[in-house]
Structures are given as C-alpha cells and as structure tokens.
C-alpha cells in the first residue's frame, strides 16, 4: 500500500512540476514568442479584455518633393464606442456636425459591440475639431492613417510586410526591449527596404478601452489614448518625386499599353528624379512576379550607346566633316538590309547607321582597349549612378539599393575580336545599362558635361517636417568631356529629332527636343524577334530642364510606343509649365 501511495504521489509531483515549468514558460520565459509560431501572449491577453482601435501603425511614411503623401493618406473618421448605447449622449449635436440623422448614429451604435468606424460620413478637418470640442465620452474624431490605393511610383517606394526572420536578425535588441514585435511591418523592396531602419515603427498610436466577457465596459466610459513617447517620430522620407508629373507619366504608360518597361524623368539642373515608373504594375497579392523595378535593372541599350562612341570619336580625332561611311553595309561590313548610301558622321548618328559606329568602335579600341569604359564614365554612366555616401553609421548608404551594376564587357579577350567590338559599339553583345544610367547620360550632356550622381531622396524629416538629414548633391570625380565635344553631341542629338532623323516625329513639339533612339535585339527565332525600344533625350533644347528616358522591353510590336509616350509627355510637361507660370 505504501509503495502504491509513493508511486501515485511521485507521479502527481512530477505532473505538478511539469505544469509549473509550463506555467513559468508561459508567464515568464516566452511571453512574446510562444511556440514556433511566435505568439505574443501579452498581446493576446490584452486583446481578450481590451478593445483596441489603431489610428497609426507607427511606421514612417514617404512624401514627394512638396511633402504630399505618396504611400499613405490621413482621413478624418468618426469613432463611436459601444458603451454609448447604455448612456445618454447628445446624439443630435454630433449628427448635426457630421451631416446625418441622429437615428443613423444611434442605429450604428446599437448594431455592434465593436467600435463603430463610420468612413461613410463626410467628416472634414473642421468637423473633426467641432466633434472633439464637445468632449463626449465614447465619441471621438481622429485623423486615421490609410494606405493609398493606386500608389504613385509604387516600384520605387516599395512594399512592406511581415518578416519575422529579418526582424530577429536585424532588430534583435529592439525586440528584446519590447519596442517592436514579430507583427511589426518591415520594408520588402524599394525605398521602404533601403530606409527601413529609419521608418520602422516604435509603437502604435491607438485608442484602448477594457471590457468584460460580455463586451461591456469595465471602467465606465474611460477611453485611453496610447502613443510612443518620442514626439519627433515617426519620421518621413522626402523623395524628389513630383507627384503630379509622376501620375502623368504613369497614365501614358498605361495608355500605350506598355507591358514591360517604363520611364525615368530627371531634373537637369539638380539631377533629381522627378518621375520614375516601371511596368508591369505591382500586384500586391502576388508581388514576387511583379516586384522588379526595370528602371534600376540593366538592359541592352542598342543604338543609344552610340552616343558613347560618338563622344570618343570626337575627342580622339576619328571625326572629320568630310569623312563618309557606306551605310548600305551592315555592322560587319557586309551587304545590309538598309540602303542609306554614303553618310557623314552627323547623318550616321541621326539615321543610326550601324556600320559607321562599328567601324569607329574598332578604330578606337585599337588605340586604347578601355576607350568605351572611359567615355561612358565621362558621360556620367558609372557602374552605378545613384547617390551613395555616409549616412550616420552607414559608411556607404544607397537609397537605390536595388540598382544594378552596369556592364560593357564580360571578358577582356573580346576586346580583340573585331565582330565582338562591332556588336559592342552599337549597344549589343554584352552591353547592359539601366534606364536610370541612360537618363544620367542625357542629363550630363544637357548640363554641358557636368557629371553628378542621381538623387531620389532629398531629406529625412522629423514628424514636425523639420529635416534631420539632408542628402547633399554629389559630383562625380575624374575628367569629363571637353566643352567643344559636348556642344557637338548636343547638335548631333538635335539632328535625330529633325527631318530624316530616327525621331523626326518629335520635331514639332512646343519644346525643342534633342535625343537618341535605340533598338536592341533580344531574341531572334525565325521570323519572330523581341527587341528593347528606347528613346532618350532632353528638352527644351535651348535651356534644358528635363532629361527623359522611355523604354519598352522585350517588345514584339511593330509600332514605336516609347516615341509616342515621349511625344505626349513633352506636350503635357509644356502644358504644366505654362499653368505654373500663370
């Protein structure tokens, strides 16, 4: 009998020890990351006895150059707490302010045990102030953060989402301090990713009240307002994007049904991105298939790259006004498909003669095997052209983290192969540049050869809109082009848009345009082929303000949508500039 009692007592003791250990784990050790699913027990326990209404998730936002919100908006909403149905409150006064019947508000409260959020009411900022001035318990008007549908520059701004692995790896200390949890949103792509450490939430701004098991208020009509203690946060990242101009560009890409490609518009004077859009449209429900920002991804530039060869030829004595080229020949000096006859250097550029630039490419590289890389850099086409530098504890911070590295050659030995050099000189073979880099080249030429890094963010702002970090303008080091060379390049590019040039349809625009077209062959299979179609240029020619690149990638269509988009964009920008002046 004693032995049995001992065994039973031992089993009960072991069971109690197990329960005690489990209880310690639940209450002390794993309160914020219970089980493999990382359940926050503290949050769950609070949610059982408290109703929470989140006003702001605490994450910083992104604004355009005029401080207009790009990723979010703030909407006045009326909150009606459920305990109102048990007290007398001046429903008529509230109804008069918000412009609905008192019966409507009463029915809203009676229908649910949750906080009524009446988004349907047209509440103004003034109406919000009037409601809150009444100081009615359970009746509150707030400005609520709301994600914008149809975000402008969505690929550039990027996505946010839940990533527990990233949080634990990158923000372990902040998680241990309880500032963030596994439910905190982090940047997945774009500027949201690059600036994640600045934008990361320090806590929600919310309204909270406690309830019993029936959902009735535990502490009368008391509603608690909770927000992080730091009055300077969350911060805002101020981009260089001009929202109105951005929306014009995106509308044109949609109008001309660009399936893959996009556009980049740069302010020539400041070298800041005014608009940047990539297609296909970002599908937030299946973002892995559409998340690529093709304006930061290197592509075959085709004849746009001839601008580099032209610059080198002008400075290395391969250009004379009397020299002509047999443009009935193709890139390899054989009978070609285009019958252009004997053309001068200027006409070869305007009509984009492959034979001319293949010939010049081979002549130049015999003198210096690094000629193409040298002159690409002189034109502002570095390996990466986006702004980079020291920002606080980051030694080499890049706002455009996703920007690809540009390339001309994959193997040194190909510089000694005539056909490889010929293909490279016309922007084929291994030559790949991002549309952003091409835009930088256009802006460099438009500025008279002054080379700069491209900026897409101007400031990081405190909550009160004061700047606590400004991204200074960065000039690129090294030698640039001679002024005489730049002037001739500008004239060559103007000739491309005049009668007989490859972009002559741009000749009668209200702004005079200078530019270069390009068509890069991607796939050739029998009669089917896919090409990249480019138009890159700047305007107005006499006093340059804008550098624009439009590209349609992997296109099989016969038309030239990029030139049509460029044409319409110039017209729209002219109209906009006239309105601003008025």
Catalytic annotation, residues? 303
Q: What angle do CA 44, 47, 50 make, to 5 degrees?
A: 150
**Separation of alpha carbons 98 and 140, rounded Å:** 12
How far, in Å, are 80, 268, 541 from residue 156 at the CA level?
38, 20, 28
**Separation of alpha carbons 40 and 31, rounded Å:** 6
Tell me which long-range contacts 468-471 makes (C-beta under 8 A, separation of at least 24).
468/232, 468/235, 469/391, 469/392, 471/387, 471/399
Q: Quick one: 100 exposed, middle or buried, by C-beta within 10 A (0-12, 13-18, 19+)? A: middle
**Separation of alpha carbons 264 and 423, rounded Å:** 26
Kindly state the tokens that stand for 246.
Answer: 């951005």
Give the residue among 569, 561, 547, 550 at the shortest CA–CA distance from 265.
Answer: 547
Q: Which residues contact 29 (CB under 8 A, 6 or more apart)?
A: none
Q: Which helix (H) or strand (E) holds 377?
A: helix 371-378
Helix (H, G, I), strand (E, B) or coil at 257: coil
**Separation of alpha carbons 299 and 435, rounded Å:** 8
Helix (H, G, I), strand (E, B) or coil at 313: helix
Query: What's the distance, CA 333 to chain centroid?
Result: 43
Helix (H, G, I), strand (E, B) or coil at 555: strand
Q: Within the chain, what is the greatest distance between any pair of CA atoms?
A: 120
**Separation of alpha carbons 65 and 60, rounded Å:** 16
Q: Which residues contact 199 (CB under 8 A, 6 or more apart)?
A: 59, 60, 61, 187, 192, 234, 235, 237
Cis amide linkage into residue 109, ω under 30° from 0? no
**Separation of alpha carbons 34 and 25, rounded Å:** 8
Q: What are phi and psi of 90, to 5 degrees?
A: -75, 70
DSSP, residue by residue, 169-185: HHSHHHHHTTS--TT-E
Give the residue among 555, 569, 481 at the shortest CA–CA distance from 518.
Answer: 555
- Through-space distance between the first and last CA atoms of the chain, rounded to whole angstroms: 104
Neighbouring CB atoms inside 10 A of 44's CB total 11
**Separation of alpha carbons 450 and 101, rounded Å:** 65
DSSP state of 58: S
Q: What are phi and psi of 278, to 5 degrees?
A: -125, 145
């Amino acid at each position: 009998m004693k032995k049995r009692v001992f065994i039973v007592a031992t089993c009960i003791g072991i069971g109690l020890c197990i329960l005690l250990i489990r209880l310690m784990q639940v209450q002390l050790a794993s309160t914020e990351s219970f089980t493999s699913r990382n359940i926050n027990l503290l949050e769950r326990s609070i949610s059982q006895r408290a109703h929470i209404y989140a006003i702001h998730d605490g994450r910083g936002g992104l604004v355009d150059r005029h401080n207009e919100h790009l990723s979010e908006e703030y909407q006045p909403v009326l909150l009606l707490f459920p305990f109102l149905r048990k007290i007398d409150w001046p429903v008529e006064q509230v109804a008069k302010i918000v412009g609905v019947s008192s019966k409507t508000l009463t029915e809203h409260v009676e229908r649910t045990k949750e906080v009524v959020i009446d988004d349907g009411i047209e509440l103004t900022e003034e109406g919000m102030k009037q409601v809150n001035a009444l100081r009615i318990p359970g009746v509150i008007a707030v400005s609520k953060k709301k994600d914008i549908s149809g975000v402008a520059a969505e690929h550039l701004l990027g996505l946010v989402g839940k990533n527990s692995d990233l949080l634990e790896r990158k923000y372990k200390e902040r998680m241990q301090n309880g500032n963030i949890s596994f439910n905190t949103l982090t940047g997945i792509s774009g500027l949201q990713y690059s600036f994640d450490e600045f934008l990361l939430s320090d806590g929600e701004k919310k309204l909270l009240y406690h309830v019993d098991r029936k959902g009735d208020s535990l502490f009368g009509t008391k509603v608690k307002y909770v927000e992080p203690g730091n009055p300077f946060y969350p911060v805002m990242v101020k981009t260089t994007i001009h929202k109105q101009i951005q929306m014009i560009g995106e509308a044109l890409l949609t109008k001309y049904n660009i399936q893959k490609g996009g556009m980049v518009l740069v302010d020539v004077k400041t070298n800041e991105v005014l608009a940047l859009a990539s297609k296909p449209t970002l599908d937030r429900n299946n973002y892995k298939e559409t998340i690529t920002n093709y304006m930061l991804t290197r592509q075959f530039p085709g004849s746009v790259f001839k601008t580099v060869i032209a610059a080198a030829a002008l400075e290395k004595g391969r250009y004379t006004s009397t020299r002509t080229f047999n443009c009935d020949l193709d890139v390899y000096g054989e009978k070609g498909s285009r019958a252009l006859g004997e053309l001068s250097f200027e006409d070869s550029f305007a009509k984009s003669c492959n034979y001319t630039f293949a010939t010049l490419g081979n002549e130049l590289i015999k003198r210096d095997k690094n000629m193409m890389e040298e002159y690409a850099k002189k034109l502002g086409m570095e390996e990466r052209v986006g702004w980079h530098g020291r920002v606080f504890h980051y030694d080499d911070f890049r706002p455009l983290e996703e920007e690809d590295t540009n390339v001309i050659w994959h193997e040194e030995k190909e510089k000694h192969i005539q056909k490889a050099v010929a293909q490279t000189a016309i922007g084929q073979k291994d030559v790949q540049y991002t549309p952003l880099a091409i835009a930088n080249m256009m802006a460099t030429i438009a500025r008279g050869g002054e080379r700069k890094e491209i900026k897409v963010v101007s400031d990081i702002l405190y909550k009160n809109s004061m700047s606590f970090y400004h991204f200074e303008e960065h000039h690129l080091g090294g030698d640039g082009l001679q002024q005489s060379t730049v002037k001739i390049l500008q004239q060559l590019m103007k000739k491309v848009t005049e009668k007989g040039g490859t972009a002559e349809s741009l000749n009668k625009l209200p702004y005079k345009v200078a530019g270069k077209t390009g068509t890069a062959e991607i796939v050739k299979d029998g009669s089917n082929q896919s090409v990249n179609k480019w138009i890159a240029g700047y305007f107005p020619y006499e006093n340059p303000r804008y550098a624009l690149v439009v590209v349609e990638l992997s296109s099989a269509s016969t038309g030239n949508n990029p030139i049509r988009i460029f044409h319409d964009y110039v017209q729209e920008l002219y109209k906009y500039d006239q309105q601003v002046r008025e």
